[in-house]
Chain A
Amino acid sequence: MTSFEFEGRQIPIELGDSIATALYRSGVRTFSRSFKYHRPRGLYCGTGDCPNCSMTVEGEPAVRTCVTPATPGLEVHRSTGWPSADIDVFSALWWLRPFMPVGFYYKSMHKPAAVWPIAERFIRQLAGLGDVPLNQAPDDRERRYHHADVCVIGAGIAGLTAALVAADRDETVVVCDEGRVGSKIPPGALDSRITASLAQVRRDRRITLIEHGTAFGIYEGPLVPIVAADGLHLVLPKRVVVTTGAAERHGVFAGNDLPGVWLARGAAVAVGRHGLGLGNHAVVVMETEYALDNLASIQAAVRIDAVLAPSALAARIPTGLRVIVDGKVERALGRARLRAVEIRSPQGVERIGCDTLILAFGLVPRDNLVRQATAASVTVAVGGDVATPGLGLEAAIASGRAAGRGEPTPLEEPTLPAAPCAGFVCLCEDVSAADLDLAWAEGYQGTELLKRYSTATMGPCQGAMCHGHLRSFVAARSPVPILSVATTARPPARPVRLQDVAAGARYPLEWHTGLHERHLEMGGIMEWAGVWKRVERYGDVMEEYRAVRERVSIMDVSTLGKYHLAGRDATAFLERLYPCHVANLKPGRSRYALLLNEAGYVFDDGLVGRFGAEEYYLTFTSSGADAMESWLRDWAESWGHTVRLANQTGTLGAINVAGPRARDLLVKLSDDPVDSKTIPYGGLARITIAGVSCLLLRVGFVGELSFELHHPRLETVKLWDALLEAGRELGVRPHGLEALRLLRLEKGHLIVGQDTDFDSTPAKLGLEWAVKMEKSEFVGRTALLRLKDIEPNRILRAFTFPGNDVPLEGAQLLEGTDRVGYLTSSRYSPVLGYGVALAWVYRHRGTFPTTVEAIDGSGRTMVGTVAEAPFYDREGGRLRA
């Protein structure tokens, strides 16, 4: 015999068992402890609609065990109660309830303020639905799309019929059910019809059946997300059919949550399908006709001492049973278990000893998804019990047919139960009628207010049990219809794990340059740069830095945005796009260019290089590389220019060779001339280096003689190795991002995104030289014209800090006690012997501060003075060497 583990003992499994039925058979009666008062809760609905059977299964809390199949080897325990759910010392909380009225923690634990953190910790441990596992390994789940014609939610008789009808019309169908089809139905006529239809559905190749698949929402589109064991199914149907059926109505009276109190269908399934016993003596409330069928099977399992029925139904109760006409349950008595019920009838009040109380108050539609759909403006067809609760087998089939054809079914306004006077209205959140009374007295009058204040209807069942009672509670107190409206239904209709929603989205995009393996071999420490992994350093940053300043160094800059642009209108297009001149650029030259958006703000920078009359090479920052394609295409299309654009960011590698000996290194590997005459600063040429054909750009980000070599990605390792090999006697070593950040800061170069932000105009950045306002048109020009006469309220400035220490990036700048700015970049400069920085400063008392006090995250204070950038090699002689 197979079994699973429950709190240290083995529980045998019988065919068709859910976890809950197997546990019940083995004698478990307390299935959970309630959310707030730690009251014992037993099996109640048996259909996955209430919270009572929630347990921790395989480390996952809040699993509804009555709809979770028992499989061998599971580890199951109750999530709440200490030392155990059976003997929970905190059940004493029930006797303390006068001190914990609804919302008590807002009212009582805020003074003195120091109390709250302690109280909060304690409350959090006491309340809740179990512990979220924090060290669980992420699960590989798939996300898959179904482009079906119809999605049917709920595979009861109406849903199966609808699916078959749609398939007969040659539509493709996805039909899902949150459990095994038919498992919530007691044996009988309905059960056999379902079995027959199910067999037909399984044979039909146009129908995809997803069992144990929970549709937790209906979104616009429409989209129906279904969580199943094998991952997340996203169904994108042309139309949706909702046949989620109805739940049994929750009964509200004092003691209504005691173990031993059952909803009728759950009890009938337990005895009829799983052969469970219900106890020795039962009282049955039979207020609705449809449940009469279940009476026989219940009678076979337990002795029925009394049936409470309205006079209209009394005659239909089987003879031999004692009927109390018009009897109402006044309260249920008992502590850990039901012991007796008190019944009020026209004959008076009577107490009957019993251990089982079975409630058939009627059905409430499981209409959460329908109401969600309405909110998302999605039209759905409804069929079966969800449309008309308790409509009976033949009518359910007929309405399933109509729904399958897509005929709209009017949704009946559900009848409300009697207003609750005592007992638990909301089982999930432990909200009693007395709590609602108090909330009402405090002024929370109306369903939406009561919901938010008491959290009734906000539990795992999303109000399936308590929503109608909340409405009738309000309706009994106020004639104003709007106060007792149905509250808004929102996804998820059923509890879902974030992991399920994130199925298929777990893998972060990680791009590697062609040199990634080389970097790792050389001990490179990698860091994220957008979607890329780049080298932060290989070893000693100062050594890398000195190689650039004193000898020669190479860096992998393959992540730069690299575009080839050509076509009839290429020059006209770029002239109109960039704020700098493009038309007067000579072939074989390149130029630094800012990118402005229409609001006149700098959002990227790079180079424009010209090959020929209408042929260009454009580079952008690594972080802007991807988005620039959409930007370029957008303008080209909008203006109707004829240009062709190739995004070569991924196909080209790029290596920067920098340092006073950079040319010496290239000469060793190339027969092409690389002298300053042939390739001056800003030059652009095609040359062959170490047998690799390269596009060479003479650039100057680090402030030394430097050459960027752009080349086919497949040859990048060959080029890299050749440069290192040939450069050995020159003392070459590669440098990473950290060295680069210092090198560029000494030159006062800003990094877009680090030193700029969302409203950085060229004027604020001190980059007006890169903007040619005399041009008649470029993107952002009108915005700059408009801003021309407005004095900037803040500007980016260079600062120096004496000594060998600098404040950390992000440090606040003060003048006296006034905050006047913050640092965006700062490093100690070894060649200069003092700290260099870029900072935003605000206009303060009419001017921009020139001497500031910087306070950084470590609490240090340092005085900085405004300076003129670049700090290093101001004349640029080294750059142009």
Chain B
Amino acid sequence: MALMFPCPQCGSRPFTEFWCGGELPDGGHGAAGDIEADYARVWLKRNVCGDQPERWFHHAGCRRWISLTRHTVTNLIHDVV
């Protein structure tokens, strides 16, 4: 509950200002693929125990998406873009 996200636009902000866009699938978000690849991307979440790339939307701030890597156990965050 104490997650602070380093937003590239707004600085360090509490995570309650963000919406979670879920984990970033292999090959990135919005990749066009065939039916099977698309199915895997939409439904088969990896749900890793460890570092996980994710998308978050800063709805109560700059209203931009950020991509970051969050450790799902410690909630430590790095690689913010």
Which A residues have a C-beta under 8 Å from some C-beta of B? 145, 147, 219-223, 234, 236, 377, 598-599, 626-627, 629-630, 633-635, 637-639, 647, 777, 782-783, 785-786
Closest to B64 in A: A633
Contact of A630 among B29, B35, B59 (CB under 8 A): B59
B65 with A637: CB separation less than 8 A? yes
A273 to B11, CA, bound (A): 49
Q: Which of A236, A635, A637, A777 contacts B2 (CB 8 A)?
A: A236
Asked if B80 is at the interface of the complex by the 8 Å CB criterion, the answer is no
Contact A783 B2 (CB under 8 A): no
B1 proximity list for chain A (CB < 8 A): 219-221, 223
For residue A637, which residues in chain B have a CB less than 8 angstroms away from its CB?
A: 65
Please state if A221 and B3 are interface contacts (CB–CB under 8 Å): yes
Q: Which residues of B contact A219 (CB under 8 A)?
A: 1-2
- In Å, the complex CA distance between A630 and B29 comes to 14
User: In the complex, which of the residues B1, B34, B43, B57 has the most CB atoms of chain A within 10 Å of its own CB atom?
Assistant: B1
In B22-81, the 8 Å CB interface with A consists of: 28-30, 32-35, 38-39, 41-43, 55, 57, 59, 63-65, 73-75
**A639 & B30 in contact (Cβ 8 Å cutoff):** yes
A377 x B74 contact (CB < 8 A): yes
Task: Name which residue of chain A comes closest to B14, CB basis.
Answer: A145
> B2 touching A786 by the CB < 8 A rule?
no
Q: Which of B2, B21, B35, B74 contacts A223 (CB 8 A)?
A: B2
Q: By CB atoms of chain B within 10 A, which of A222, A639, A777 has the most? A: A639
CB contacts (< 8 Å) of A630 on chain B: these are 19, 21, 57, 59, 63, 65
With both beta carbons as reference points, the residue of chain A lying nearest to B30 in the complex is identified as A638
Given that A782-B35, A782-B38, A783-B38 are contacting pairs, would A220 and B63 also be in contact in the complex, using a CB cutoff of 8 Å?
no
- Whether A786 touches B21, Cβ cut-off 8 Å, given contacts A223-B1, A223-B2, A377-B74, is no
Closest to A779 in B: B30
| B71 → A minimal CB distance (Å) | 9
- On whether the beta carbons of B42 and A629 are closer than 8 Å, the reply is no
Once the chains bind, are B29 and A638 in contact (CB under 8 Å)? yes
Please judge, given known A-B contacts A220-B2, A598-B42, A782-B35, whether A634 and B64 are in contact too, CB under 8 Å: no
What is the CB-to-nearest-CB distance from A719 to chain B, in angstroms, rounded to a whole number?
29
- A633 touches which of B2, B28, B34, B65 (Cβ 8 Å): B65
Q: Assuming the A-B contacts A236-B4, A630-B21, A783-B42, are A777 and B32 also in contact, with contact meaning beta carbons closer than 8 angstroms in the complex?
A: yes
Given A377-B74, A786-B35, A221 contacting B30 (CB threshold 8 A): no
> Is the pair A221, B2 in contact by a Cβ cutoff of 8 Å?
yes
11 new A-B contacts at CB < 8 Å, known A221-B1, A635-B30: A219-B2, A220-B1, A234-B2, A236-B4, A627-B19, A630-B63, A634-B57, A782-B33, A782-B38, A783-B39, A783-B42
Q: Say how far A208's CB is from chain B's closest CB, in angstroms.
A: 18
The interface size of chain B toward A, counting residues with CB under 8 Å, comes to 29
Q: Are A220 and B38 in contact (CB under 8 A)?
A: no
Flag if B21 contacts A634 (CB, 8 Å): yes
Q: Is the CB of B2 within 8 A of A222?
A: yes
- When distances are taken between beta carbons in the complex, the residues of chain B under 8 Å from A627 are 19
Query: How many Cβ-Cβ contacts under 8 Å join chain A to chain B?
Result: 66
Asked if A634 and B29 make an inter-chain contact with CB atoms under 8 angstroms apart, the answer reads yes
CA A629 – CA B59 in complex, angstroms?
9
A222 to B75, CA, bound (A): 10
Closest residue of chain A to B56 (Cβ to Cβ) is A630
26 A-B contacts (beta carbon < 8 Å): A145-B14, A219-B1, A220-B3, A220-B74, A221-B2, A221-B3, A221-B4, A221-B75, A222-B2, A223-B2, A377-B74, A598-B41, A598-B42, A599-B43, A630-B19, A630-B21, A634-B21, A634-B55, A638-B28, A639-B30, A782-B34, A783-B38, A783-B39, A783-B42, A785-B35, A786-B39
B65 touches A598 (CB 8 A): no
Chain A residues closer than 8 Å to B14, beta-carbon distance:
145
Q: How far is the CA of A777 from the CA of B32 in the complex (A)?
A: 9
Q: Which residue of B lies closest to A234 (CB)?
A: B2
Measured between beta carbons, the chain A residues less than 8 angstroms from B33 are: 782
Q: How far in angstroms is the closest Cβ of chain A from B55? A: 7
B74 to chain A minimum Cβ distance, whole angstroms, is: 4
- How far, in Å, is B12 (CB) from chain A's closest CB? 8
CA distance A782 to B39 in the complex (A): 8
Q: Are B38 and A377 in contact (CB under 8 A)?
A: no
Instruction: State in angstroms the CA–CA spacing of A223 and B64 once bound together.
Output: 25
- What is the chain A residue whose CB lies nearest that of B41? A598
Q: Is the CB of B73 within 8 A of A377?
A: yes
Most chain B CB neighbours (cut-off 10 Å) among A147, A637, A647: A637
**A220→B71 CA distance, assembly (Å):** 11
State in angstroms the CA–CA spacing of A782 and B4 once bound together.
36
* Docked pose: A637 CA to B57 CA in angstroms: 12
Question: Measured between alpha carbons, how far is A785 from B32 in the docked complex, in Å?
Answer: 14
| A220 and B3 alpha carbons, distance in the complex (Å) | 7
Taking a contact as CB atoms under 8 Å apart, the answer to whether A634 and B38 are in contact is: no
Residues of B within 8 A of A647 (CB): 63
Residues of A within 8 A of B4 (CB): 221, 236
How far does the alpha carbon of A377 sit from the alpha carbon of B3 in the complex, in Å?
13
**Chain A residues near B21 (CB, 8 Å)?**
630, 634
Interface centre among A220, A627, A647 (most CB of B within 10 A): A220
In whole angstroms, what is the CA distance A167 to B28 when docked? 45
Residues of A within 8 A of B64 (CB): 633
Task: Give, as a whole number of angstroms, the nearest-CB distance from A330 to chain B.
Answer: 49
Please name the residue on chain B nearest to A630 by beta carbon.
Answer: B57
| Assembled-state Cα–Cα distance A635/B31 (Å) | 10
Residue of B nearest to A145 (CB): B14
A599 to chain B, nearest CB (A): 5
Report how far A653 CA is from B33 CA in the complex, Å.
Answer: 41
Closest to A634 in B: B65
Q: How many Å lie between the Cα of A219 and that of B75 in the bound state?
A: 10
Assembled-state Cα–Cα distance A234/B1 (Å): 11
Question: Separation in Å of the B27 CB from the closest CB of chain A?
Answer: 11
**Which residues of the partner chain A approach B30 to less than 8 Å between Cβ atoms?**
634-635, 638-639
Neighbouring A residues of B65 by C-beta, 8 Å? 630, 633-634, 637
- Contact residues in A for B12 (Cβ distance below 8 Å): 147
Alpha-carbon distance A145/B12, docked complex (angstroms): 12
Min CB gap A563→B, angstroms: 12
Q: Which residues of B contact A785 (CB under 8 A)?
A: 35
A220 CA to B73 CA in the complex, in Å?
A: 9
C-alpha spacing A388/B42, complex, angstroms: 53
Chain A contacts of B59 at CB under 8 A? Answer: 626, 630
| A629 nearest in chain B by CB position | B63
Q: How many angstroms from the CA of A634 to the CA of B30 in the assembled complex?
A: 9
List residues of chain A with CB within 8 A of the CB of B55. Answer: 634
**What's the nearest-Cβ distance from chain B to residue A759, in Å?**
12
Residues of B within 8 A of A634 (CB): 21, 29-30, 55, 57, 65
Q: Which chain B residues lie closer than 8 Å to A222 at the CB level?
A: 2
Q: Please list the 10 inter-chain residue pairs (A to B) with the smallest Cβ-Cβ separation, ordered nearest first.
A: A223-B2, A221-B2, A638-B30, A782-B38, A630-B57, A377-B74, A220-B75, A598-B42, A638-B29, A219-B2
The residue in B28, B38, B43 that gathers the most chain A C-beta atoms within 10 A of its C-beta is B38
A168 to chain B, nearest CB (A): 26
What residues on A are CB-neighbors of B39 within 8 Å?
782-783, 786
- What is the CA–CA distance of A630 and B73 in the complex, to the nearest angstrom? 27
Task: Find the B residue at minimum CB distance from A633.
Answer: B65
CA distance A34 to B74 in the complex (A): 40
The CB with the most chain B CB atoms within 10 A, among A145, A626, A634, is that of A634
Report B8 CB to chain A, min CB distance, Å.
Answer: 13
* CB under 8 Å from chain A, chain B span 2-17: 2-4, 12, 14
Bound Cα distance A452, B73 (Å): 26
**Contacts A220-B74, A598-B42; is A633 near B63 (CB within 8 Å)?**
yes
Task: Please indicate the chain A residues that have their CB under 8 angstroms from the CB of B74 in the complex.
Answer: 220, 377
Bound Cα distance A605, B73 (Å) = 38
A235: nearest residue on chain B (CB-CB)? B2
Determine the distance from Cα of A633 to Cα of B35 in the docked complex, in whole angstroms. Answer: 24
* Cα(A219)–Cα(B4), bound, Å: 12
Closest chain A residue, CB of each to CB of B55: A634
- With A219-B2, A220-B74, A638-B29 in contact, do A598 and B63 touch (Cβ < 8 Å)? no
Alpha-carbon gap, A629 to B14, bound state (A): 20
